[in-house]
């Protein structure tokens, strides 16, 4: 299948390209909110104030798998989310001057019933998290939204396709960075691979470093706002402005290996009574990264959970490979 061959091809291109070496800017997991009804909007991937290295291209290939089951019926609204979303993303960033960077993000999305339902049930039981919304048979697919007896969205067959592209620019302002992202409507709203509209995000990023147990600890944070265009998915519920922000910590346990955690928060995308769709979003991620000495590659791996069981997936896993080439 083309979707299965893409990761192999992209990783081969990265691995065969000449690298700058071991130096790399402050790093985080480039995560987003993969709720199927919300990931269609132009929320930027988690980032820092650091620009790409001078003189080359920063290439990142990410694979995310997000499992989400929510069923709710109250306040005149009915929601069914039962899906597993796989997202393969190619990100390119180039520093074109001392203070300016440009970038492009290309996602490919694939929905299915998945295979992780039973695993997540058991994990939630192990750590004492709620399974209150995870009812019914495992590994099914359904996406449905109804309000006041009117069906706003209904999908019973899995789908896949190219998502909405994002073009970005970043301007260094002293110790901070201003980042702007424009999302183009290249996806398909009927497949939930796009919203059908252009969005604009603007955020301010800053950070620093200290020492803990004689090892470097880097920290970063950002705040921003996302302006939503008039989309074709749940358009009657869509809000115009969504605030967002995040914080990240990365501790260099060894010269090659680092441990990291981050929180990504977003305001309400939709004017829905159901928290599963209209609530604020808080995602907590844990993981690490390893820098290969010979190839100059950075491998990241993380898992993410919704802190409050609302408008974010129950569970998400992330793996990505990053390289600077010239």
Split at pLDDT 50, 70, 90, the class of 294 is low
pLDDT tens for 22-55 read 444 468 999 999 999 999 999 999 999 999 988 8
State the DSSP code for 123: H
The CATH number of the domain holding residue 61 is 2.40.160.40
Q: Round to whole Å and give the CA distance between 216 and 61.
A: 26
Check: CB of residue 69 under 8 Å from CB of residue 316. no
Kindly report the pTM of this predicted structure.
0.86
- Residue 38 CA to residue 30 CA, distance in Å, equals 17
- pLDDT at position 30: 94
Q: What is the per-residue pLDDT for 232?
A: 96
Structural domains in the chain (count): 1
Tally the C-alpha atoms within 13 A of residue 51's C-alpha that lie toward its C-beta. Answer: 26
* Interval 217-226: pLDDT, tens: 999 999 999 9
Q: 87: how many CB neighbours lie within 10 A of its CB?
A: 20
**Domain interval for residue 214:** 2-325
Residue 20 to residue 24: CA distance in whole angstroms: 9
């Amino acid at each position: 299948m083309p979707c299965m061959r893409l990761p192999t091809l992209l990783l081969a291109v990265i691995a065969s390209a000449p690298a700058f070496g071991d130096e790399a800017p402050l790093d985080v997991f480039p995560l987003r909110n993969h709720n199927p009804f919300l990931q269609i909007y132009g929320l930027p991937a988690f980032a820092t104030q650091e620009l790409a290295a001078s003189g080359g291209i920063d290439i990142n290939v990410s694979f995310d798998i997000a499992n989400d089951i929510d069923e709710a019926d109250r306040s005149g609204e009915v929601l069914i989310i039962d899906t597993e979303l796989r997202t393969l993303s190619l990100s390119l960033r180039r520093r074109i001057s001392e203070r300016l960077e440009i970038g492009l993000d290309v996602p490919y999305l694939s929905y299915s019933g998945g295979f992780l339902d039973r695993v997540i049930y058991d994990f939630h039981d192990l750590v004492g998290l709620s399974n209150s919304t995870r009812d019914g048979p495992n590994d099914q697919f359904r996406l449905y939204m109804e309000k006041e007896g009117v069906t706003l969205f209904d999908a019973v067959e899995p789908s896949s396709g190219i998502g909405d592209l994002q073009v970005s620019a970043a301007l260094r302002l002293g110790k901070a960075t201003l980042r702007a992202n424009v999302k183009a409507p290249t996806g398909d709203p009927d497949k939930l691979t796009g919203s059908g509209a252009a969005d604009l995000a603007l955020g301010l990023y800053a950070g620093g470093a200290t020492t803990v147990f004689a090892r470097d600890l880097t920290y970063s944070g950002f705040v921003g706002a996302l302006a939503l265009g008039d989309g074709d998915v749940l358009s009657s519920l869509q809000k115009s402005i969504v605030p967002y922000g995040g914080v990240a910590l990365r501790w260099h346990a060894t010269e090659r290996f680092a441990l990291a955690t981050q929180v990504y928060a977003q305001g309400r995308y939709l004017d829905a009574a159901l928290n599963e769709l209209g609530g604020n979003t808080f995602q907590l991620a844990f993981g690490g990264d390893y820098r290969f000495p010979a190839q100059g590659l950075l491998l990241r791996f993380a898992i993410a959970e919704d802190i409050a069981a609302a408008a974010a997936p129950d569970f998400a896993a992330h793996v990505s490979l990053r390289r600077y080439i010239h």
